[in-house]
A = this chain, B = another copy of it.
Amino acid sequence: MQSILEIRHLQTLLALLETGTLSGAATRVHLTQSALSHQIKQLETHYATPLFERKTQPLRLTPAGQRLHTLAQAIKELVDEAERDVARLVQGRAGKLRIAVECHTCFEWLMPAMDVYRQNWPEVELDLVSGFHANPLSLLRESKAELAIVSEYKKSSEAVFHPLFGFEIVGLVSCLHPLAKKDHLTPHDFADETLITYPVADEMLDVVRLFLKPRGIEPKRRTAELTVAILQLVASRRGIAAMPAWAVQSYLQTGYVVGKRIGKQGLRGELYAATNQAMAQAAYIQDFVATLRSVSFNRLPGVVAL
């Protein structure tokens, strides 16, 4: 009789189409697969029609599902815009947003996210804090940046960590390399190789910090500034590397370099946006974090919500 539709349902529909599976959508909206299954079933009984074809890959919506998905998109637009306006009304004009980045590859999703954000908050002064910093959190403390992209969650009374996304870090080896045959790479596989990395401190390198250091393994090292350069060196069998899966997906298509799981379980990386307490309250900052998340989810393959 009456409409039971809530925004929650529409968010589910959006996540469903973005991820392509119910379980994917579930992690995206921080609920269980079961919850979403029940949710959609409720809609389907209410509208007396299925909303998507099961048993098909890729996922396909029925016409009714399509219509509701269109609605969901429109409504998300409107709600987001309205909430930005309310934030502006309540908190007044927004301020500066200087971003400190310690992660080379991050520019891949940071740039498009900033482009989107600029549309919504034209009055915010966006800036990148130039250079790479051993400890970007200190920049927050010294008020030289409002936000830092970091790869580790540290319990802290000063900084607030906003989870961005999780991903897999893959080992990169030439397709001709003997290691290319293995199912996954062990710490010892690195021992006799040259590890090619960005020229940054070891604490910024998840392979070293989480995988090699704990086992006391210290391979020969070599650095390169650019992702392409590292990939070229790997292809030329000058060493092996480790990179976020999302950063190298396109290179792997060529076949010269292959991605290997690191350790039996694989090596997971995470990214956070850190701000200080005060900034964490500001809507224009919160919305930037939200933008980072949604842009990353939509552009990067294989990233998951934290």
* Chain A, 86-132, CB within 8 A of any chain B CB: 86-87, 89-90
Please judge, given known A-B contacts A64-B86, A67-B85, A67-B86, whether A79 and B5 are in contact too, CB under 8 Å: yes
Which residue of chain B is the closest to A71 with respect to CB atoms? B82
Interface CB pairs A-B, < 8 A, 19: A1-B286, A3-B7, A5-B83, A6-B6, A6-B8, A48-B90, A49-B86, A49-B90, A64-B86, A64-B90, A67-B82, A67-B89, A70-B82, A71-B78, A71-B82, A74-B78, A75-B75, A75-B78, A78-B78
In the complex, what distance in Å separates the CA atom of A230 from the CA atom of B66? 54
Copy tally for this chain in the complex stands at: 2
Of B3, B79, B82, B86, the residue contacting A79 (CB under 8 A) is: B3
Which residue of chain B is the closest to A50 with respect to CB atoms? B90
Would you call A20 an interface residue if the criterion is a C-beta within 8 Å of the partner chain's C-beta atoms? no
Interface 0/1 of A127-155, CB less than 8 Å to B = 00000000000000000000000000000
Would you call A301 an interface residue if the criterion is a C-beta within 8 Å of the partner chain's C-beta atoms? no
In the complex, what distance in Å separates the CA atom of A15 from the CA atom of B283? 28
In the complex, what distance in Å separates the CA atom of A111 from the CA atom of B89? 41
B residues near A83, Cβ cutoff 8 Å: 3, 5, 47
Is the pair B7, A6 in contact by a Cβ cutoff of 8 Å?
Answer: yes
Interface 0/1 of A2-28, CB less than 8 Å to B = 010111100000000000000000000
In the complex, what distance in Å separates the CA atom of A75 from the CA atom of B7? 10
Interface magnitude class on chain A: 20 to 34
Would you call A63 an interface residue if the criterion is a C-beta within 8 Å of the partner chain's C-beta atoms? yes
Is the pair A47, B90 in contact by a Cβ cutoff of 8 Å?
Answer: yes
In the complex, what distance in Å separates the CA atom of A286 from the CA atom of B5? 16
Would you call A300 an interface residue if the criterion is a C-beta within 8 Å of the partner chain's C-beta atoms? no
B residues near A47, Cβ cutoff 8 Å: 83, 86-87, 90
Q: In the assembled complex, how far is the CB of residue A161 from the closest CB belonging to chain B, in whole angstroms?
A: 13
Would you call A68 an interface residue if the criterion is a C-beta within 8 Å of the partner chain's C-beta atoms? yes
Interface 0/1 of A55-83, CB less than 8 Å to B = 00000000110011011001100110011
B residues near A48, Cβ cutoff 8 Å: 90
Q: In the assembled complex, how far is the CB of residue A29 from the closest CB belonging to chain B, in whole angstroms?
A: 10
Please judge, given known A-B contacts A86-B49, A90-B48, A90-B49, whether A71 and B79 are in contact too, CB under 8 Å: yes
Which residue of chain B is the closest to A8 with respect to CB atoms? B6
